């Protein structure tokens, strides 16, 4: 097996190849002068099973992934596995208003024309996976989150959304504490409201887990509700840290105990590694 690290995920790809004790191949990607993506895989031949690790967000990384697939195929890859730590475009998984595309389907289908299998991590909507025209696995980062927080003083794990309570449950069961959820109502892409919590969290150290932090609105609103319910401290652990519009600084100024995310996206708080979960999936597949 050979691991190729795309420009979004070099450090994660290096970690995966180290765990698998297999070769790591770098890529060279200066842009064309007009800004178009240029990419070259730094190898003469890839006569092996090849794993490309690369996000499909933002758009330039999606283009790079498509070009990398062609490049490794031209170098003789026997099979191609795409590891997409953060899969972009999973939000638009259906037509909400007439005239919209099924973006998630379009992107999944484009990506899977040249590959043999796909690994994603906590994809935003699991319904997207069926559009890959090849076998797929969606890895759950809950195990890595639980390992990271196991020595911290956490009393209860909270999901800021009933639909994602299974993630909170999984983390809570692993660190042997209780779990709960807050009911979220999304008003727009940037606005959410939450029903006041019915539970009494007086004096509790709470861990909020979610799949992603984008604007930070969900976490900030959940924190306010939890403070109203009397919590002692709030720690936040999410899989993907997109942190748009200075979200990380806004979160830090909200008296949160600590905020950390996994290394599916590289940020200053990407402290939880999903490399061993990905390596295990590649080894056992």
Does residue 125 have an active-site annotation? no
Return the half-sphere exposure (C-beta side, CA atoms, 13 A cut-off) of residue 111.
Answer: 36
Report the alpha-carbon angle 263-269-270, nearest 5.
5
Applying CB under 6 A, which of residues 112, 211, 226, 233 lies at the interface with ligand R5P?
A: 211
Which stretch in 10-18, 148-156, 216-224, 225-233 sits in contact with ligand R5P by CB under 6 A? 216-224
Which stretch in 132-140, 199-207, 212-220, 225-233 sits in contact with ligand R5P by CB under 6 A? 212-220
Closest by CA position to 278, among listed 8, 20, 66: 20
Q: Which residue has the tokens 């390992």?
A: 147
5 vs 241 by CB, closer to ligand R5P: 241
Tokens, residue 39: 């990419």
218 binds ligand R5P (CB under 6 A): yes
Q: Which residue has the tokens 């999901």?
A: 159
Min dist CB 141 to ligand R5P, Å, is 13
10 Å CB burial of residue 59 (0-12, 13-18, 19+) is: exposed
Distances (CA, A) of 188 to 15, 53, 91, 184, 193: 38, 32, 13, 12, 10
Applying CB under 6 A, which of residues 216, 223, 264, 275 lies at the interface with ligand R5P?
A: 216
Applying CB under 6 A, which of residues 213, 226, 231, 278 lies at the interface with ligand R5P?
A: 213
Peptide bond before 210: cis, by omega within 30 degrees of 0? no
Spatial contact of 6 and 261, defined as CB atoms under 8 Å apart: no
217 binds ligand R5P (CB under 6 A): yes
Min dist CB 217 to ligand R5P, Å, is 4
10 Å CB burial of residue 58 (0-12, 13-18, 19+) is: exposed
Site for ligand R5P in 130-169 (CB under 6 A): 161, 164
Which stretch in 114-122, 214-222, 260-268, 277-285 sits in contact with ligand R5P by CB under 6 A? 214-222
22 binds ligand R5P (CB under 6 A): no
Min dist CB 196 to ligand R5P, Å, is 18
CA–CA separation, 282 vs 285, rounded Å? Answer: 5
Min dist CB 189 to ligand R5P, Å, is 7
For ligand R5P (CB under 6 A), the number of binding residues is: 12
Which stretch in 105-113, 132-140, 215-223, 272-280 sits in contact with ligand R5P by CB under 6 A? 215-223
DSSP per-residue codes, 93-104: -S-SSTT---HH
Which stretch in 7-15, 44-52, 175-183, 206-214 sits in contact with ligand R5P by CB under 6 A? 206-214
212 binds ligand R5P (CB under 6 A): yes
Distances (CA, A) of 246 to 251, 264, 268: 9, 19, 13
Catalytic residue among 184, 195, 198, 280: 184
Q: Return the number of other C-beta atoms located less than 10 Å from residue 81's C-beta.
A: 23
85 vs 217 by CB, closer to ligand R5P: 217
Min dist CB 230 to ligand R5P, Å, is 23
Site residues (CB under 6 A) for ligand R5P?
161, 164, 192, 210-218
Please list the active-site residues.
Answer: 184
């Amino acid at each position: 097996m050979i691991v190729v690290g795309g420009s979004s995920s070099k450090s994660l790809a290096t970690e995966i190849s180290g765990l698998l004790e297999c070769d790591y191949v770098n890529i060279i990607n200066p842009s064309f002068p007009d800004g178009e993506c240029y990419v070259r895989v730094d190898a003469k031949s890839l006569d092996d099973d090849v794993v490309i690790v690369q996000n499909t967000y933002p758009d330039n990384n999606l283009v790079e992934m498509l070009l990398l697939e062609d490049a490794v195929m031209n170098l003789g890859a026997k099979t191609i596995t795409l590891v997409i730590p953060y899969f972009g475009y999973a939000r638009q998984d259906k037509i909400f208003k007439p005239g919209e595309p099924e973006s998630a389907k379009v992107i999944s289908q484009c990506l899977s024309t040249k590959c043999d299998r796909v690994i994603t991590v906590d994809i935003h909507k699991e319904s997207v996976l069926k559009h890959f025209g090849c076998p797929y696995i969606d890895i759950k980062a809950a195990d890595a989150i639980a390992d990271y927080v196991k020595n911290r003083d956490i009393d209860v794990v909270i999901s800021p959304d009933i639909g994602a309570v299974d993630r909170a449950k999984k983390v809570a069961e692993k660190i042997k504490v209780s779990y709960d959820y807050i009911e979220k109502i999304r008003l727009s892409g940037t606005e959410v409201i939450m029903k006041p919590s019915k539970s009494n969290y007086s004096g509790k150290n709470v861990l909020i887990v979610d799949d992603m932090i984008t604007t930070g609105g969900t976490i900030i609103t959940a924190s306010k509700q939890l403070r109203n319910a009397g919590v002692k401290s709030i720690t936040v652990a999410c899989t993907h840290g997109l942190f748009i519009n200075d979200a990380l600084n806004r979160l830090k100024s909200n008296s949160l105990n600590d905020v950390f995310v996994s290394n599916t996206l590289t940020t200053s708080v990407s402290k939880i590694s999903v490399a061993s979960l990905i390596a295990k999936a590649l080894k056992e597949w």
